[in-house]
Amino acid sequence: MAKKPEEVLEGISKKLLGLVKSYTKSKKFEQVAKYVDNAIRVRTRLGKGDDNKKFKELKASTKKKRKRYEKNLSEFTRPDKSNLTATGQMLDSIKSKTDGSKIIMGFKEKRTNELDGTPSKLTNSDVAIFSEQLGRLFFGLTPLQRKEFTRRLKAELLAFFRNN
């Protein structure tokens, strides 16, 4: 006797859920998560926030401090560039991890030295919060980046489904 349509759909649904669960435990899913890390890091170093608009210009005092300690600046910036990259520690510390079907974003908390060479008393999260309080919102994806992330995830899922 033929199965009822409901039984067929239930079987397909269980199979798809199983495949999704397998995919989210795979290295491929971790690689998609790393795309998010890199997208935030690159866009921010280019001086743009998560609204894809340029960050506010640095204050004269900040530019002066960066010029004084120019030898300690990250390779990704210069004294007058507003891109949240003085030492580079905060952006370099962005990390993602996968937990089930979720991608969890955060920071490695330990910082080494401040721009002036003194040991840091702050965590990378402290620096991120301070930056966002100053109106430099960066820890998210722009609409275009979200669209690209969704496209990549769909393509990865479809390829995974075809191969399994």
Domain boundaries, the chain: 16-163
User: Taking phi first (over 0 means left), then psi (-120 to 50 degrees means alpha), and beta for anything else, what does residue 104 get?
Assistant: beta
pTM for the model stands at 0.83
Cα–Cα distance between 110 and 114 in angstroms, integer? 12
Task: For residues 52-71, give the mean pLDDT.
Answer: 93
pLDDT at 147 over 80: yes
- pLDDT computed for residue 20 by the predictor: 86
pLDDT over threshold 90, residue 3:
no
Average per-residue pLDDT for the chain: 91
Contact 66, 57 (CB under 8 A): no
Confidence band, pLDDT 50/70/90 cuts, at residue 119:
very high
Which residues does residue 139 pair with via DSSP β-bridges, in sequence order? Answer: none
pLDDT of residue 17: 87
- For residue range 107-118, list pLDDT tens digits in order: 999 998 899 999
